Copies of this chain bind each other. A is one copy, B any other.
């Protein structure tokens, strides 16, 4: 086996010994995020150290175990991925629902359609990390559920989607990032047109003007 360690060499060949602890710690976390995104959470600490240009033992000076390091990676990646004013902005009925949805998915897609996020989210999901389920449940309750009512209110005919319909809208959009970063398929540089189309088709189906 032995997965080929995409050895991008040291990130900064100049950086040498004796950084301030906080700086070094941050450097390790940043490097670990990039590294584990590349090779998966079973990437070897020696390979990560080589990439950082430090010794493997140094990692254990900053993190008590590899699991502990991965925890820090999770925190770094999952933190603030979903800014908490979106529930308010999505339900601000002074603006057309279409604009609100376009704004949300424009910002959200730039946040999540990133190599590190996409891949670490998927790796941790496959590994059964609780963080995934919690994140998606959070997304469902603070974003999708409020949207049920918004669409119902904005519909000319009062037709309302079910929760599963909203997951379908969401999934269709997220799948762009999956194709791009997980499957490494050729994808449009700018996904906003595809996203706009998906949103318009969805609103159209529920008679939102």
The interface of chain A, by Cβ under 8 A from chain B, is 1, 3, 40, 42, 65-67, 70, 119, 122-123, 125-128, 132-133, 136-137, 162, 164-165, 167-176, 178-179, 182-185, 188, 193-194, 197-198, 200-202, 204-205
Contacts and interface: CB of A to CB of B under 8 A. Distances in A.
B182 A126 contact: yes
Nearest to A201: B205
Give the number of copies in the complex: 2
Contacts of A171: 171-176, 178-179
A98 B54 CA distance: 59
Contacts of A119: 126
Nearest to A37: B126
Given A66-B1, A127-B40, A133-B185, A172 B168 contact: yes
Given A123-B126, A183-B136, A188 B172 contact: no
A206 to B, nearest CB: 8
